[in-house]
Amino acid sequence: MQKKYLLAGSAAVVVLAVAAFFACKVNAQKNVGIAARVNGEVISVDEIRKGYADNPQIAAQVPFDEFYEKAVDVFVNGKLLYQAATKANIQDTPEYKDQLKTAMEDLARKVYLEKTVEEKVNDAAVQKFYNDEYVAKFESKKEMGAKHILLDDEKTAKEVIEKLNKGGNFDKLANEYTKDNTVDLGYFTEDLMVPEFTNAALALKVGEYTKKPVKTQFGYHVILLQDVRDSKPLPIKDLEPQIKNILSQQIVAETFDTLHNESSIEKFDLNGKKMPEPKEEK
């Protein structure tokens, strides 16, 4: 009989343990998506995720999981302050109402400009600018593709050239000697390099390297000319951010011009005298 009670007791413990496990699991599921509760008010994970997304500089440096742990405390402190301010009826004070009016006006201006720009800076506008302002006005230039080995002194540069003359591999010698991390300079036009470098590269045939060290303000170069070609317009995807920025600035300027032209505006000096209208430039 005693054995039966012991077994029954063990079964009860197991049942309680299982029940506790599932209770914890249910409670955990209830809290999924909730970052914190502050005096009953919920701070959601989505709020913190939005704060993370709205700060791309932080997002580029810190993963969300790491940001989240610290952000929870920041959001909790913010909620505590807001609750305290509400309890103290801060919203009824003149200071609050004055600053709220300013903040609302600032926000309205910001959102209005953002929406205006967003509506007009679309794919069609970007494509039109690319075709009309970039491709149509593009002037092709000679581009050189080159590698270089940069050295501190002429003696070492001559040593490198001597090894190239004996059949040495340019890349291997560059890896051994150069003080510049960038060996392959890619393609560049004449105006992008210092004159001494450009003139030396122009004097080479494709596949040739300089037989004498080229001195510039950076040191002594051994240059290998890999290719010469006519420059072509960059693809639209490479220019899209710059085009959108240009269009955005244009639209903001046009928006102010339109608002001024459609509005009645009077301006007064400190003495209350009406200021004269600015003369239009011819």
CA distance 196 to 213: 11
Among 53, 51, 96, smallest CA distance to 75 is for 51
CATH code at position 175 = 3.10.50.40
Residue 215 is assigned to a structural domain of this protein: yes
Kindly state the average pLDDT of the residues 43-65: 93
Domain count, the chain: 2
Residue 32 banded pLDDT, cuts 50, 70, 90:
confident
151-161 tens-digit pLDDT: 999 999 999 99
Residue at a domain's end among 91, 117, 134:
91
Q: Are 197 and 221 in contact (CB under 8 A)?
A: yes
Residue 68 is assigned to a structural domain of this protein: yes
Say whether pLDDT at 13 is over 60: no
102-112 tens-digit pLDDT: 999 999 999 99
Say whether pLDDT at 184 is over 80: yes
Residue 259 is assigned to a structural domain of this protein: no
CA distance 94 to 85: 14
200-211 tens-digit pLDDT: 999 999 999 999
Among 47, 43, 104, 106, smallest CA distance to 79 is for 43
Residues spanned by the domain of 187: 142-230
pTM exceeds 0.85: no
Tokens 């290998």 -> residue: 224
Say whether pLDDT at 182 is over 60: yes
Residue 67 is assigned to a structural domain of this protein: yes
pLDDT of 17: 46
Same domain, 226 and 155: yes
Tokens of 5: 């009670």
Residue 34's φ and ψ, nearest 5 degrees, are -105, 125
Residue 114 is assigned to a structural domain of this protein: no
Say whether pLDDT at 1 is over 70: no
pLDDT of 99: 96
Q: Are 149 and 177 in contact (CB under 8 A)?
A: yes
Residue 117 is assigned to a structural domain of this protein: no
Residue 281 banded pLDDT, cuts 50, 70, 90:
low
Residue at a domain's end among 91, 109, 133:
91
Same domain, 84 and 15: yes
Give the CA-trace dihedral at 70, 72, 76, 77, to 10 degrees: 20
Residue at a domain's end among 51, 68, 91:
91
Tokens of 104: 């609302």
Tokens 């720009």 -> residue: 117
pLDDT of 278: 73
Tokens of 277: 């209208």
Among 130, 137, 103, 117, smallest CA distance to 249 is for 117
